[in-house]
Amino acid sequence: MKIRCNREHLADRLAQAARAASTRANLQSAAHVRLTAESSEVPVELAATDLEMTLRVPLDADVEQGGSVLLPAKIAPELIRALNGETVELSAEADGRVLVSSGSSSYTLYGLPVDEFPQLPEIDHEQVFETDSAVFGDVVGRIKRAASRDESRPVLTGALVRFESDRITMAATDSYRLAVAEAPLTKAPPEALEAIIPIKALEEVVRIAGADGALSVAIGEGLVTFGIGGIWLSVRRIEGQFPNFTALKPDGVEQSATIAKDELLEVVRRVGIVVRQNTPVRVELAPGQLSLQARTADVAEGAESIPVAATGTETIEIGFNHEFLRDGIESVPGDEVKLSLISSLRPALLESVDGTFWYVIMPIRI
């Protein structure tokens, strides 16, 4: 195999593909990016996988001789970016070595035999439909912080993603909080589809897609695939039963108020400065006033109040994890946040005024 291409373009594309490469010591071959070149008429493909997520990235290059090689994912992008020539040439030896030359620089990368690279999942293009990448990214951004990072409960490390004929709905929870967001779609599948998708993969899709353009999606039996500008990301679906999130939305509200989002967020951030060692933020919602307090023994304490038009006559005092409360407020779209409380021991609800986002947060006993 022998190819020649722009050095910066190769470094960028290699770095992009390498994000899916494995970092586990027992998967040596998957710690590489596979470069496959057929001819100058067909884009060169860079592919990497950690056996859960796979990235296929096209590369514009002149192909002098076709073939495939494995490039070490950890150092190849960094090395090629550091070379001093405008173009770079890669040529493979029979023993797996790859000669890299650019300007006055010449290096050798020691890869593995190509046949040791994991088999990649097939993309079923017949199942592909297009949707709005900007809408998709916005919804992911609103729910991602509520997903669990605890790998012992795999279902909660993903988000339930549901496509319907006119809208998209996503939900994520770590069992201490729940975020649910929906948005209308101008492009959607002909029938309802849903899957539990790892948050890491959703974040990667959003990073690649940016703010504009069409997003291709295919939801298969065990695999979900996303296509953006010639790049294809495939990820294994998380198997299991996602919690019935609609049943978790609190009802029987005793006290609620609609508050200016920026004002509330500023207060929560300031009060949070004195929070240490997971001490709770104390919230009191009363007719005419919302008060927040925090105290860390021998460190600091503080309190602030905001005038509000509460709907109920009760005064409810409740404690929250500061980080979870801040995340929920930041995720609410629009200029206002609706806070609803039932009691000091029941979950609280943060909502957008238009009802397209809601966030349930469990209380901390105070």
Query: What is d(CA 165, CA 190) in angstroms, rounded to the nearest whole number?
Result: 6
pTM, rounded to two decimals: 0.91
pLDDT at 210: 79
pLDDT at 25: 66
Query: What is d(CA 118, CA 52) in angstroms, rounded to the nearest whole number?
Result: 11
Query: What is d(CA 96, CA 314) in angstroms, rounded to the nearest whole number?
Result: 73
CATH superfamily of the domain spanning 125-245:
DNA Polymerase III, subunit A, domain 2 (3.10.150.10)
pLDDT at 41: 77
CB 215 within 8 A of CB 227: yes
H helices of 83-219, where? Answer: 133-143, 199-209
CB 90 within 8 A of CB 79: no
Query: What is d(CA 340, CA 356) in angstroms, rounded to the nearest whole number?
Result: 16
| CATH number listed for the domain at residues 249-361 | 3.10.150.10
pLDDT at 299: 87
Q: Six-digit token pair at 219?
A: 């939801």
Please write the tens of the pLDDT for every residue from 272-283. Answer: 999 987 789 999
Instruction: CATH 3.10.150.10 in the chain: give the residue spans.
Output: 2-116, 125-245, 249-361
Query: What is d(CA 169, CA 358) in angstroms, rounded to the nearest whole number?
Result: 12
For tokens 């593909």, name the residue.
Answer: 17
200-211 residues labelled b (16+ CB within 10 A) or e (exposed):
bbbebbbebbee
For tokens 């509200």, name the residue.
Answer: 253
User: For each of the chain's 366 residues, which pLDDT tens digit applies?
Assistant: 999 999 999 999 999 999 999 988 678 899 999 999 987 777 899 999 999 999 999 999 999 999 999 999 999 999 999 999 999 999 998 788 999 999 899 999 998 889 999 999 998 888 899 999 999 999 999 999 999 999 999 999 999 999 998 899 999 999 999 999 999 988 888 889 999 999 999 999 999 997 667 899 999 989 999 999 999 999 999 999 999 999 999 999 999 999 999 999 999 999 999 998 778 999 999 999 999 999 988 889 999 999 999 999 899 999 999 999 999 999 999 999 999 999 999 999 999 999 999 999 999 998
Which residues make Cβ contacts (< 8 Å) with residue 93, sequence separation at least 6?
99
**CB count, 10 Å around CB of 113?**
11
Residue 51 one-letter amino acid: L
Q: Single out the residue of 90, 91, 89, 92 nearest to residue 112, CA to CA.
A: 92
pLDDT at 211: 66
For tokens 């990448």, name the residue.
Answer: 133
| CATH number listed for the domain at residues 2-116 | 3.10.150.10
Helix (H, G, I), strand (E, B) or coil at 110: strand
Q: Six-digit token pair at 325?
A: 């409360």
